[in-house]
A and B are shown apart, each in its own frame.
Chain A
Amino acid sequence: LSRRNLVLWIAVLSSVVVASVASNSLDDGGLFLGMPVSLLHPLVACLLLSFLFWLFSRTEWHRGDS
Chain B
Amino acid sequence: MMDPIGTAVLVIYIAALLLLGLWASRRSRSDPEDFFVASRNLGPFVLFATLAATNFSAFTFFGFAGAAYRLGYAYYGIMAVGTSMMAFSFFLIGRKVWRLGKEKGYITPPELIGGLTGSEGLRTLYLLVMVVFTMPYLATQAVGGGIAVENLTDGAVSYEVGAVVVTLVITAYVLKGGMRTDAITDVLQGLLMVVTMVSAVGIVAWGLGGFGPAIARIGADHPGLTGGDGFPWQMWVSYIVLWTFADPMFPQLFARFYAARNENALRRSMIAYPLIVGTLFMGPVLIGVWGNISLPGLDPIGSDSVLPSMVAEHGTSFLTGTVLAGAFAALMSTADSQLLVLSSMLTRDVYSRWIRPGSSPKGELLTGKVLVVVLAGIGLSIALFRVDSIFEALTKTTFSGLALLFPSTVAVLYWKRVSARGCISSILSGGAVYGLMYADIIPDRFSYGFLEIVPALIVSITVLIVVSLLAPSRAKDVEPRLERTLASKGARSNDGRGAASYINRRGRSGYDVP
Contact = CB atoms under 8 A, between A and B. Distances in A.
Interface of A: 10, 13, 16-17, 20-31, 34-36, 38-39, 41-43, 45-47, 49-50, 53-54, 56-57, 61-62
Interface in B391-436: none
B236 A13 contact: no
B228 A53 contact: no
Given A25-B233, A29-B226, A46-B277, A39 B88 contact: no
B15 interface: no
Contacts of A17: 81-82, 85, 240
Nearest to B275: A50
B73 interface: yes
A42 B80 contact: yes
A38 B277 contact: no
Contact of A61 (B82, B240, B263): B263
B45 interface: no
Contacts of A57: 91, 267, 270-271
Given A36-B215, A57-B267, A50 B282 contact: no
Interface string B71-82: 011101100111
Contacts of A10: 88
A9 to B, nearest CB: 8
Contact of B278 (A36, A46, A54, A61): A46
A19 B76 CA distance: 15
List the 3 closest A-B pairs by CB distance, nearest first.
A46-B278, A29-B227, A42-B77
B270 A21 contact: no
20 contacts: A13-B88, A17-B81, A21-B236, A23-B228, A24-B236, A28-B227, A36-B219, A36-B226, A38-B72, A38-B76, A38-B226, A46-B81, A46-B274, A47-B275, A50-B273, A53-B88, A54-B271, A57-B91, A61-B91, A61-B95
Given A13-B88, A49-B84, A31 B215 contact: yes
A24 B77 contact: yes
B272 interface: yes
Q: By CB atoms of chain A within 10 A, which of B91, B95, B231 has the most?
A: B91
B4 interface: no
A56 B226 contact: no
Contact of A50 (B226, B231, B271): B271
A42 B231 CA distance: 14
Task: Describe A's contact surface by its main secondary structure.
Answer: helix
Contact of A34 (B73, B215, B263, B271): B215
A34 B216 CA distance: 9
Contact of A27 (B74, B88, B219): B74
Place the interface of chain B in its size category: 35 or more
A50 to B, nearest CB: 4
Given A20-B81, A27-B228, A31-B219, A50 B233 contact: no
Given A29-B219, A39-B73, A57-B91, 9 more contacts: A21-B233, A24-B236, A29-B228, A34-B215, A38-B72, A42-B81, A43-B282, A46-B81, A46-B278
B233 to A, nearest CB: 5
Contact of A25 (B88, B228, B267): B228
Contact of A53 (B72, B87, B211, B215): B87
Contact of A21 (B73, B229, B237): B237
Contacts of B286: 39
Interface string B466-483: 000000000000000000
B449 interface: no
A53 B82 CA distance: 14
Contact of B267 (A13, A41, A61): A61
Contacts of B215: 31, 34-36
Nearest to B215: A36
Interface string B251-290: 0000000000001000100111111011000100110000
Given A21-B236, A25-B228, A28-B227, A38 B74 contact: yes
B233 A24 contact: yes
Contacts of A25: 228, 233
Contact of B84 (A27, A34, A46, A54): A46
A35 B205 CA distance: 13
Contacts of A27: 74, 227-228
A21 B240 contact: yes
Contacts of A16: 81, 85
Contacts of A45: 77, 80-81, 84
